[in-house]
Structure 1
Amino acid sequence: MQFTAKQISEIVNGSIEGNGDVVVSRVEKIEEATEGGLTFLANPKYENYLYTTGASVVIVNNDLEIEAAINATLIRVKNAYTAITLLLDQYNNIRFHKTGIEEPSFIHPTAKIGNDVYIGAFSYIGAEVVLGDNVSVYPQVYIGDNVQIGNGAILFPGVKIYHDCVLGEQVTIHSGAVIGSDGFGFAPQEDGTYRKISQIGNVVIEDQVEIGANTTIDRATMGHTIVRKGVKLDNLIQLAHNVEVGENSVIAAQTGISGSTKVGKQVILGGQVGAVGHITIADGTQVQAQSGINRSIEDPGLKWAGTPASQFQTQMRAQVVLQRLPDLERRIDQLEKILKEFKEEKNK
């Protein structure tokens, strides 16, 4: 695929400085770009590469001041990072756009398939499934009975959607993710064994959610496990039964959230965060990586860290004290020695 600088400027609503007819065919990092490449500059740390890059076109912020000669054509925009994100979206839409049904695949006669749908080979579409328009189902995807999937959803290879789950529009689920597997529910018996509790709820994923590879979201025991609109989940995340994640929250890899916990809106959880069950996490909360949340966080907009989690500034002060412990121990030993010598001298 080839685009001119003029065509790119029209897409990102930018202004051109240089040759508008120059052609690019790929997107590259600014420090590695070569002729025919498109790149961008958003981070001032990389500004020196602007004067040495081999890229043919560079997207920059409107307020960037040029300090030396530049060989590349510039496209000035309000926000270079947002502009390149838009271009990458366009690129992916063109690159991954497929339609049609590949064989072999199984589609139950009662399934309802929308317009311009792609279904890859070895996929399974169960009874009463509803696929909206422009849905992409890549090879080896399993979609169980009564699943509903909204317009523009993308299920990458190997995704498994269990029965009765509901996915909204523009949902993206990456390879190996499992949606709607049984929650971890077992009732202890008098003889020491455990009896499985049937999980009869489902998972509801609202619009514009993205779910990373090998993430698992358990179905509710009763009712719904809910991932609200705009949530972004990294790879290798576990959401247990009846969890609810609020709108536009972001959760990093290897985080686990136990059953029935409610995560508020615009929450940020770093990697390997753990949360116990049956608690609430307030809107706008930010939690540092590897923290453990063992109680509800009720005040919105605060930063937390550590295990058990405490407010960020408190945790940082505790870390400072912790680093001083060896010195404090040495000083205490010295004081005890002085005190012992003082007592011995006094008793003479």
Structure 2
Amino acid sequence: MNKQSLLLVLACLASAANAAGVSDILWLSDVAPKRARPVTDADHSSHGKPGKQQDNMDAVIGGDEGDNLHSGSKRLWLRQGDDPANAGYVNAAGLSSDINLINAQGKRSQVAQTPVNGLAHAKCDFTELGFYNAHVARESVQDGVLRRQLAKAELLKGSCCMKPADVDPAQTKAISDPTLPLEIVRQHKPDELLFTRIVSGDKISFTIIGLGKPLPGVPVTMLTQQGWQKKAVSDENGRVEFTMIRDYFPAWNDFKRRTKESFVILAETEATASGKYLGQPYVKVAYQATLSGKYAPSPYDYKSYAWGLGIAFFVLTFSGLGVYLYRRRRLKPFQEIRFNESA
């Protein structure tokens, strides 16, 4: 093997290693997986009627969001990968821990996994309005490095109809868990109240926190469902800001103003520490934190579609009317002309 071939092989190995590391991103999603097969007789009870558990599965496995803003029930699925559109769903056997919940008042609770079709899944039920944080951890030792992955989702039982005077400010504040070594907190806007809607073109800010304190100099990456990525580094206050890219450009007749797509915020840092985890020694700890969310097309996008259609209709109508009037003016009334040949 010559030197050029060796360098090519090494470059390919390095690229594969980097891709493997990136694709190991762990995050929580409220989008259910699509059913890969039709319902069969094996899915039904022995009496020939659909079993109650299978009916629930059919209602969940649809590939769409099953919960809305006003619902007191939120479903979460654990996914892995750096492509929010095609990331795989984690098997329940690959995660033994429960979902940890914390509300705006700091009250903690745990939600046990309820696997669906063998996939890691949890159903969180809320009785009170407000924001909640849900997170789950996964740990492993690889090559002497303890990898601590912390996947987090911000949940909301809210209302779009409440007036500012009727909303308790404590219910609208961003929630942070001071026990987490690495956490991403989305900064809420002053007029957000209990209705969150992030759209393309919005600037959204996050704070990177470790054990309750802002962490400066942490690399942060935003990943969107359309494959767009943006990198930044947290400032001295642990803050980082991204502008949601406009990446939804369907044909005008396929534009859906209510469509929503996923984004994932990723933060990674390391710390020198030694010890053992499940009998395996390590000399360094690598932290990975994620926060997932949803964004929608900007209202200006579908308004521009409407304006464009309106202008096109006006131009076509005006042009047709102009052609019609022009041709009408060119018409001359019939006139009979007689010649007197004898004159």
TM-score (norm 1): 0.27
Higher relative contact order by CA 8 Å / sep ≥ 6: 1 or 2? 2
TM-score (norm 2): 0.27
